[in-house]
Amino acid sequence: MEHHYQSPWFVEALQKEGDLKINQLDLNLNTDICIIGGGFTGLWTALKIKEKKPKINVVVIEKDLCGSGASGRNGGCMIPQSTKFQGIKKIVGLEDAKKIVIATEAAVKNIKEYCKENNIDAQIRDDGVLYGATNKFHKGAFEDLIKDLNENKINSWKRLSKEKVQHLTGSKKFIDGYYSPIGGSLQPALLVRGLKKTAEDKGIKIYEKSTALSYSDRKKIIVKTKKGSVKCNKLVIAMNAWTPTLLPFLSRSVILVSSDMIITEPIKNELKDLGLNNGLVILDSNLFTHYCRTTPDGKMILGKGGNTFSFKNKVINSFDGPSTVEKYLKNSFKSFYPSLNNVKITQSWNGPSERTKTGFPFFGYHPKNQNISYAFGYSGNGVLTCYMGGEILSSMVLEEQNEWTKSNFCKGPLKMFPPEPFRWLGAILIRNAVRRKEKNQEIGKNPLWIDKQLAKLAVSVGRVDFEKK
Ligand SMILES: Cc1cc2nc3c(=O)[nH]c(=O)nc-3n(C[C@H](O)[C@H](O)[C@H](O)COP(=O)(O)OP(=O)(O)OC[C@H]3O[C@@H](n4cnc5c(N)ncnc54)[C@H](O)[C@@H]3O)c2cc1C
């Protein structure tokens, strides 16, 4: 069977499975709940529903293979939402902002325990997260955030000395930094394929290579695929980048932009020399951060978001291929680790990342039918947040009245982007201003005023939402 160009993670996960057994939907089914999309969101939701109500019948339909979207190709960096706390608080209020920080931090332990209980070897190494400053403009950038987190008794970050930062990252490029022990890295494709297997073991029916083509939003919902259909009482749309194809009213709620990655050949000895021997996630403090981590078999990956913006949020073919900014990433890699200059980069890849204007995801109901719910807009930070997404969507579907269903996260999109062509043109203008600003900062130069103003408009779409005041 032919597969799309995929990340090395996904290839490794499929190889470990051996003979692929694909169950395609070729009949007309009746079920209680149907979920469209077999990534982290769809599978965590299915598993949470089954955990809460074991007798409920759940069907998942996936257009390709479970995990073939963002879930099987991301950086595997477990980064809680704490660095966005102040931005989130401004939009949803203090209590909800605290909830998302606490839930995404708890997700590290929850995912680890879930994997242990269900024999999923997702190579989880919870060695924390480090945000480093690579120039004077980023020095001390977390001070205000830490004060705020401390006041709310949810702070896990601490500032480290320059020497300690350089020791932990193995990179002299960092001159300052902050560390939190809550976070780390995993192999995302092993996790998502493991969740798929666990879901099947628990009686959830999964159909792959079965694209949902349409659905009726009447009382009894019917989802149609090419060869079959699913009639259900409740429908969950967990399609991530593809969401607007079935929910066009959400098309202005995100900007689709690539996140791009490279991976090295195995370099265990070189990593040992640099002191890189654990699952620490290392990030710089740019708006579209570089993120970096090692693998247990001694490779290194480096990625960066905010590269290729698609017009009209179309999931374009280049999202399923090698990175278009491979050369740029190779140069970044060399600038962080000059001693690894001759190391071979064996592959690059990318994928679509849906950035909301608020910088965090939202959940909601179809305006014509409360029995249809959705999640959207993880904004490049989904490994931990999708676990929370599963908790939220399962609560919505099961009509639970709890801290999540009553929260501002379940009110659909809280902010919209302008329509095309303004959204795309604006995104390119802002991305270029951010690039110029960061290039100048990197060489110690003050950015142009106009670039600083334009960059401010992009703050929410970055992984970090602060700039030294
Ligand atoms: C390159 C890259 C790197 C990233 N790195 C990180 C990181 O290091 N840390 C982090 O926290 N986050 C990261 N992210 C974000 C994270 O991967 C996502 O937020 C997360 O995987 C979203 O999961 P999901 O289940 O919502 O979406 P997906 O995994 O994309 O799942 C959606 C699924 O829906 C299916 N689908 C679409 N249309 C249909 C249809 N019509 N019928 C049936 N099925 C359909 C797709 O095939 C897909 O499998 C990264 C994202 C990318 C793209």
> Ligand 1: does its nearest atom lie under 6 Å from the Cβ of 308?
no
d(CA 205, CA 191): 18
Look at residue 125 and tell me whether its pLDDT is greater than 90: yes
Q: Tell me: the pLDDT tens digits for 276-295?
A: 999 999 999 888 899 999 99
Residues 6+ apart with CB under 8 A from 207: 23, 24, 25, 59, 60, 61, 62, 225, 228
- Nearest ligand 1 atom to the CA of 383 is 11
d(CA 427, CA 31): 42
Least confident stretch, 27-36, 99-108, 133-142: 133-142
Which residue puts its alpha carbon closest to atom 37 of ligand 1? 239
Look at residue 1 and tell me whether its pLDDT is greater than 70: no
More confident residue, 74 or 285: 74
* pLDDT given for residue 2 in this prediction: 58
Least confident stretch, 240-244, 391-395, 465-469: 465-469
Mutation to probe ligand 1, out of 129, 131, 378 (largest number of atoms < 8 A from CB):
378
Residues of the chain with CATH 3.30.9.10: 121-187+253-354
Least confident stretch, 48-62, 168-182, 446-460: 446-460
Residue 178, amino acid:
Y
Q: Once rounded to an integer, what is the mean pLDDT over residues 326-344? A: 96
Share of the chain above pLDDT 70, in %: 97
> Ligand 1: does its nearest atom lie under 6 Å from the Cβ of 87?
no
Mutation to probe ligand 1, out of 71, 81, 255, 348 (largest number of atoms < 8 A from CB):
71
Q: How many CA atoms lie within 13 A of 233 on its CB side?
A: 8
Mode of pairing for the β-strands spanning 221-224 and 214-215? antiparallel
d(CA 391, CA 52): 10
* pLDDT given for residue 454 in this prediction: 76
- Nearest ligand 1 atom to the CA of 385 is 11
Which residue puts its alpha carbon closest to atom 18 of ligand 1? 382
> Ligand 1: does its nearest atom lie under 6 Å from the Cβ of 390?
no
Residues of the chain with CATH 3.50.50.60: 8-73+189-252+359-410
Supply the pTM of this predicted model. Answer: 0.95
Look at residue 465 and tell me whether its pLDDT is greater than 60: no
d(CA 211, CA 318): 20
Mode of pairing for the β-strands spanning 58-61 and 229-237? unpaired
* pLDDT given for residue 307 in this prediction: 87
Structure tokens at 191: 């996790």
Residue 128 dihedral angles phi and psi, to the nearest 5°: 95, -175
Structure tokens at 166: 């350089």
What is the residue-averaged pLDDT of the chain?
94
> Ligand 1: does its nearest atom lie under 6 Å from the Cβ of 152?
no
CATH topology of domain 8-73+189-252+359-410: FAD/NAD(P)-binding domain (3.50.50)
Look at residue 186 and tell me whether its pLDDT is greater than 50: yes
Share of the chain above pLDDT 90, in %: 81
More confident residue, 456 or 71: 71
Question: If you search the block for the tokens 């040992």, which residue do you land on?
Answer: 272
d(CA 319, CA 411): 29
> Ligand 1: does its nearest atom lie under 6 Å from the Cβ of 380?
yes
d(CA 68, CA 239): 11
d(CA 453, CA 455): 5
Beta carbons within 10 angstroms of residue 22's beta carbon: 13
- Nearest ligand 1 atom to the CA of 260 is 1
Tell me the CA–centroid distance for residue 311 and ligand 1, in Å: 19
Q: Once rounded to an integer, what is the mean pLDDT over residues 117-146? A: 96
* pLDDT given for residue 469 in this prediction: 46
- Nearest ligand 1 atom to the CA of 69 is 30
Categorize the per-residue pLDDT at 418 as very low, low, confident or very high, splitting at 50, 70 and 90: confident
- Reference 377, options 191, 198, 252; nearest CA is 252
Which residue puts its alpha carbon closest to atom 16 of ligand 1? 382
The answer to whether 337 and 323 have CB atoms below 8 angstroms apart is: no
Question: If you search the block for the tokens 């950086």, which residue do you land on?
Answer: 75
Q: Once rounded to an integer, what is the mean pLDDT over residues 372-400? A: 97
Mode of pairing for the β-strands spanning 254-264 and 300-309? antiparallel
Tell me the CA–centroid distance for residue 70 and ligand 1, in Å: 3
Categorize the per-residue pLDDT at 432 as very low, low, confident or very high, splitting at 50, 70 and 90: confident
CA distances from 274 to 280, 336, 338 (A): 13, 11, 11
Tell me the CA–centroid distance for residue 6 and ligand 1, in Å: 13
> Ligand 1: does its nearest atom lie under 6 Å from the Cβ of 208?
no
* pLDDT given for residue 438 in this prediction: 84
Categorize the per-residue pLDDT at 461 as very low, low, confident or very high, splitting at 50, 70 and 90: very low
CATH 3.30.9.10 fits 121-187+253-354, yes or no: yes
Tell me the CA–centroid distance for residue 351 and ligand 1, in Å: 8
Q: Once rounded to an integer, what is the mean pLDDT over residues 333-356? A: 95
Query: What stretch of H or E contains 463?
Result: none
Secondary structure class of 193 (helix, strand, coil): helix
Residue 82 dihedral angles phi and psi, to the nearest 5°: -60, -30
> Ligand 1: does its nearest atom lie under 6 Å from the Cβ of 223?
no
